[in-house]
Chain A
Amino acid sequence: MNRSEAIKRLNAVFCDVFDDDSIKIADTTSAADIDDWDSLEHINLISAAEDEFGMRFKMKEVSGMKNVGEMLDLICERGN
């Protein structure tokens, strides 16, 4: 999947999950940058992204993801 399309759709997921339309994600965005990004919302974010892109992250990927860039890499590789 094309990265610019993926980032657009993933941004919409972030806006919904954190209910904040002003969010602009970048490769370096991480939990430290978004106030509400706690472990509970992380689960929600993963589920919503998996649904949006019709794919599943592997367990190792979920625990190893450090920022949005890494998430996007996986989405571009396997997402629809």
Chain B
Amino acid sequence: MKELVYPFNGIDIMRRCKKLRKELLSDGSVRMKKKIAVLGGSTIGHIVSALELFLLNNGIEPEFYQSEYNKFYEDAVFGSDGLDSFAPDIIYIHTTSRNLKYLPDRPDISEEEVQQRLNDEISFFRSIWTALEKKFSCPIIQNNFELPLFRQTGNYDCWGLSGQSAYINRMNLLFAEEAVRNNDLFINDINYLSAAIGLEKWHDPEAWYMYKYAMSTSVIPDLAYSAASIIKALFGRNKKVISLDLDNTLWGGIISEDGIGEIELGTETAVGMSFSEFQSFLKVYKQYGALLTVCSKNDEENALAGLRHPDSLLSPEDFVLIKANWENKDMNISDTANELGLLTDSFVFVDDNPAECAIVEEQLPETAVIHLKSTAQTMYEMSRSGFFEVTSVSGEDIRRSEMYSANVKRKAQQKSFTDYSEYLRSLDMKAIIGDFQPILLSRIAQLTNKSNQFNLTTKRYSEAEIKELSCDPGYIRLCGRLSDKFGDNGIVSVVIGRIEQEILHIDLWLMSCRVLKRDMEFAMLDELVRICREKGIRKLMGYYYKTPKNNMVAELYARFGFALISTTENDDSVWELYTDKYTNKNNVIKVN
């Protein structure tokens, strides 16, 4: 729903909240259900209403637990029956500067005392996080603190020992340090948000006096959008691709008309600078794992010439695919998605031409479209959109673009073989398949939350759950890494089996779509059966739970040689395989 994507009209969203909710819930889309506990240090009613809308719009149907007014500490540390039985998948702690207990309160305060106060303050919050982690092992989202609107001492407030702004800035730094150390803690940066919106607009003391809202009701949608961005990122609903137009999007001018010498890029002109800065802005997304592609009405020759312009910071090699042709852009985006093994709902399309934007919006409503009016505005829109919200950085993220580019090269090689297995052998594939290693836990959790298509049960795990499971003898865990002569694909497959005497229930079987049709699933199964035999497990039970996205594996267990035991009305199915009947299936990948 376009009105729920940044830039949105927050006041209108709150006014039509009930109607929007009804529309979203009846739009026929299937959403993952998640339990979200919101623990507030001020009133949270409208925050939850807005949060619900933004999550519904991102494929998540939330169920909420709300703490009683200002009972965030009690609920967390002493527990409450309501929260305990709710068993949240995620916890959002909505506190603000109104909840700071030890703010400096006199001019002659010493550095030692300020330190002590900061220490007491952070210990208070740490005790909340620790108690929640111990009980629920789930991600915790925590607001940091907004700066005050009023400063009795003027500029002194930001540097004097007794300054409130100074204290808040130090607290924010302490929160950031905690989040770096604690993989399950995520900061909702209301310090940035209130500054971006403006403290004058953010603060509304009367809303506090009357309703105990810690900010103006008009900015509640902004706050909720920011928290929703983190939540949806944790559940694997980020965008993956930025598909870019070229003329007047990555450079000024039209290359086929103006010629390579006349397009504007670089530091010579203001317009050139704006496009250079936009290119370097985009490059950062690539560094964090977003894929860049070109989607331009141009001859390919001109497109490549533009990207090889001496002042172009982005070169053809930065793009995993370049579609420069005269096809309709929605077709090009669909083709790009197919070739990369991704879905069009993970694309963001950027174009300066409103007509092109309208066509893509019309044909691919699930694709996010940004109409570039100025590069500065687009940069702000993209950074506020939450499309690529980062919650952790794994080696996989950093190398992702490289890996997809290697895949495009593999495709080219495939064309020179008529026999597919000959092609597979030519890739010289090597796999390392083994138990979860501590260093891989975050990537494994990330995969369980991101994989939708090649995923038999779509069971999601938090990093804490994976960690717990990784030392439980009641499970068999496998993760597989695949490399070949074009490069390393990283960890691409995860299997989790639960042992019940002589039976192994396969709770999770997933694989990254990057390595489809490479027989990696066979290599994983061979290894799983080998370990089962070693442990005296006689039977594997496989489960397929149908979702709108995982149709490609509906018959996976059949291909594996499992026997079908039962099917339900909604096409879920249960399968079994006896380990003594199994013969190895992989003969193209060298394992371990």
B203 to chain A, nearest CB (A): 14
> Is B159's beta carbon under 8 Å from chain A?
no
Establish whether residues B46 and A16, one from each chain, have CB atoms under 8 Å apart when the complex forms: no
Establish whether residues A47 and B206, one from each chain, have CB atoms under 8 Å apart when the complex forms: no
Establish whether residues A19 and B18, one from each chain, have CB atoms under 8 Å apart when the complex forms: yes
Query: Which residues in window 311-353 of B have CB below 8 A to A?
Result: none
> Is B19's beta carbon under 8 Å from chain A?
yes
A19-B19, A19-B22 in contact; A63/B11 too (CB < 8 A)? no
B208 to chain A, nearest CB (A): 11
> Is B161's beta carbon under 8 Å from chain A?
no
Cross-chain contact of A47 among B14, B19, B22, B209 (Cβ < 8 A): B14
B51 to chain A, nearest CB (A): 14
> Is B156's beta carbon under 8 Å from chain A?
no
Establish whether residues B210 and A63, one from each chain, have CB atoms under 8 Å apart when the complex forms: yes
Contacts of A48 in B (CB 8 A): 11, 14-15
Tell me whether chain A's interface is mostly helix, strand or loop, or mixed.
Answer: helix
A34 to B517, CA, bound (A): 60
Contacts of B218 in A (CB 8 A): 47, 51
User: How many residues on chain A are close to B (CB under 8 Å)?
Assistant: 15
Establish whether residues A13 and B46, one from each chain, have CB atoms under 8 Å apart when the complex forms: no
A17 to B206, CA, bound (A): 22
B305 to chain A, nearest CB (A): 51
Residue of B nearest to A21 (CB): B19
A27 to B346, CA, bound (A): 51
Contacts of B181 in A (CB 8 A): none
| Residue interface mask A8-22, B partner, CB < 8 A = 1 | 000001001111000
Establish whether residues B15 and A16, one from each chain, have CB atoms under 8 Å apart when the complex forms: yes
A69 to B587, CA, bound (A): 81
> Is A44's beta carbon under 8 Å from chain B?
yes
> Is B499's beta carbon under 8 Å from chain A?
no
Establish whether residues B15 and A17, one from each chain, have CB atoms under 8 Å apart when the complex forms: yes
A51 to B46, CA, bound (A): 16
| Residue interface mask A38-79, B partner, CB < 8 A = 1 | 001001100110010000000100110000000000000000
Query: Which residues in window 200-251 of B have CB below 8 A to A?
Result: 206, 209-211, 213, 217-218
A43-B211, A59-B210, A62-B210 in contact; A51/B15 too (CB < 8 A)? yes
Contacts of B22 in A (CB 8 A): 19
Establish whether residues A44 and B206, one from each chain, have CB atoms under 8 Å apart when the complex forms: no
Query: Which residues in window 554-575 of B have CB below 8 A to A?
Result: none
Contacts of B536 in A (CB 8 A): none
A16 to chain B, nearest CB (A): 5
Cross-chain contact of B14 among A19, A36, A44, A59 (Cβ < 8 A): A44
Residue of A nearest to B18 (CB): A19
Establish whether residues B45 and A40, one from each chain, have CB atoms under 8 Å apart when the complex forms: yes
A74 to chain B, nearest CB (A): 15
Contacts of B209 in A (CB 8 A): 59
Task: Name the residue among A13, A40, A47, A62 with the largest chain B CB count within 10 angstroms.
Answer: A47
Task: Name the residue among A17, A18, A62 with the largest chain B CB count within 10 angstroms.
Answer: A17
A62 to B18, CA, bound (A): 23
Contacts of B415 in A (CB 8 A): none
> Is B16's beta carbon under 8 Å from chain A?
yes
A59-B206, A63-B210 in contact; A51/B19 too (CB < 8 A)? no
B52 to chain A, nearest CB (A): 13
> Is B193's beta carbon under 8 Å from chain A?
no
A24 to B46, CA, bound (A): 25
Contacts of B17 in A (CB 8 A): 17, 44
A13 to B14, CA, bound (A): 11
Query: Which residues in window 1-53 of B have CB below 8 A to A?
Result: 11, 14-19, 22, 45-46
A59-B210, A62-B210, A63-B210 in contact; A44/B19 too (CB < 8 A)? no
A6 to B179, CA, bound (A): 50
Cross-chain contact of B15 among A36, A40, A44, A62 (Cβ < 8 A): A44
Establish whether residues A13 and B217, one from each chain, have CB atoms under 8 Å apart when the complex forms: no
Task: List chain A positions with a Cβ less than 8 A from chain B.
Answer: 13, 16-19, 36, 40, 43-44, 47-48, 51, 59, 62-63
6 A-B pairs within 8 Å (CB atoms) are namely A16-B19, A17-B15, A19-B16, A19-B18, A47-B15, A59-B206
- Return the 8 tightest CB-CB contacts between A and B, nearest first: A19-B18, A48-B15, A40-B45, A19-B19, A47-B217, A51-B11, A16-B15, A16-B16
